[in-house]
Amino acid sequence: MKTKSDFPSINERPPEGLKEDGSAFSVLIVDDSMFVAKQIGQILTSEEFKIAGTAGNGEEGLEKYKEMYPNIDLVTMDITMPKMDGVTALTKILEFDKEAKIIMISALGKQDLVKKSLMLGAKNYIVKPLDRKRVLERVISVLRQ
Amino acid sequence: MRVEYINPFVESAFNVLKEVVGGELTRGDLYLKSTTHPVLGITVIVGLAGDVEGSVIIDMSEETALAIASVMNGEELSDFDDLGKATISELANMITAQAVTKLYDLGFKFDLTPPAMITGQNLEVSNAGVETLIVPVDMPQGKIEINVAIRERG
């Protein structure tokens, strides 16, 4: 029986979530909304990114980052969360690993906090509602920086 | 209530619902409710405090909430469980956040509380001393009512 591999498509491109060596980029999702975490997870896994973990607040995000270090390539960080907000968690993760690549996830109306996060060392930001194309563009641009 | 407070909520509700749910949206006639009024069953409340104060309530039946949450998740949800609740809370968050940005641009400064969801039958809401304007939005999944009760801080 012929399989798909017998007919390689000239339009096929490799999934965005894979490194040159074929292993997947590893992402930690920090968000208190189960819905948003699931949405980011779905967008990224569709491109074969690996979701290394999820955390529901900044404190848990910081702990998981330290636990999994150096095996996290990127963190998506919500800004407004209970216990420890995203801006504080960003600062603490960067104190621990100044090379950490963190993208802030924000609702509209939080421009001041987004600016502050970028000044503090966040690599980029995404404003909700999340759009698949925009999420992938920002994630890929940060990973290629 | 000043119309400047209402329009941003109507516009952002339409923008967000079109973007995340899609389908045909129709705005029903706006109306004022008395100080105590019944709500539909799944109610998300976001409080505002600053130059203006009050609350915005996004209200719908459980059936409608389940249908909208299913579309937003890209899968049929059979119960209005934690994921359904998180989805509708996030919807309210996006609508209010976008409206607030518009109000900031008009020069109003205030903070928002995180969305709080209340579910149940035969619920009533009272906004002591703040007039409530209702914006009904009809969607293929059912009706959503956006209750805006905002006043300038005296």
DSSP string, B10-65: HHHHHHHHHHHT-S--EE---EEE-SEEE--SEEEEEEEEESEEEEEEEEE-HHHH
Residue ranges of alpha helices (H) inside A6-47 are 34-45
Instruction: List, for residues B72-83, the tens digit of each pLDDT value.
Output: 998 999 999 999
pLDDT at B44 over 70: yes
Block residue for tokens 């779905």: A42
Q: What does the domain layout of chain A look like in residue ranges?
A: 21-144
Q: Which residue is closest to B109 within chain A, CA to CA?
A: A109
pLDDT the model gives residue A8: 58
Mode of pairing for the β-strands spanning B36-38 and B116-119: unpaired
The chain A residue lying nearest B100, using CA atoms, is A109
Per-residue pLDDT band at B66 (split at 50, 70, 90): very high
Q: Work out the average pLDDT over B94-123.
A: 86
CB contact under 8 A, A129 and B101: no
| CATH class of residue range A21-144 | alpha beta
Residues 6+ positions from A127 with CB-CB distance below 8 Å: A106, A107, A108, A114
Name the one residue in this structure whose structure tokens are 């802030």: A104
Rounded to an integer, the average pLDDT of B24-39 is 82
Mean pLDDT of chain B: 88
- Span B3-152 CATH architecture: 3-Layer(aba) Sandwich (3.40)
Q: Which residues of A touch B104 (CB under 8 A)?
A: 109
**B15 → chain A, closest CA residue:** A129
> Pairing mode, if any, of strands A102-106 and A74-78?
parallel
**Contact: A107, B97; criterion CB under 8 Å:** yes
Residues A101 and A122: their CA atoms lie apart, in Å, by 7
Mutate to test the interface with A, among B90, B95, B112 (most CBs of A within 10 A): B90
Q: Tell me the mean pLDDT per 10 residues along chain A, length 145.
A: 57 84 96 94 96 97 98 96 96 98 88 94 94 94 91
Cα-flanking dihedrals φ and ψ of residue B82, to 5°?
-60, -40
Domain boundaries, given as residue ranges, for chain B:
3-152
Q: Would you call B98 and A108 a contact, using CB atoms and an 8 Å cutoff?
A: yes
**Mean pLDDT over residues B25-45, rounded?**
84
Check residue A52 and report its DSSP letter.
E
| Total Cβ atoms within 10 A of residue A125 | 20
Q: Is A42 in Cβ contact with B74 (below 8 Å)?
A: yes
**A119 or B8, higher pLDDT:** A119
Per-residue pLDDT, averaged over B116-129, amounts to 82
pLDDT at B30: 87
Which pLDDT value is given to residue A10?
Answer: 61
Cβ separation B94–A35 shorter than 8 A: no
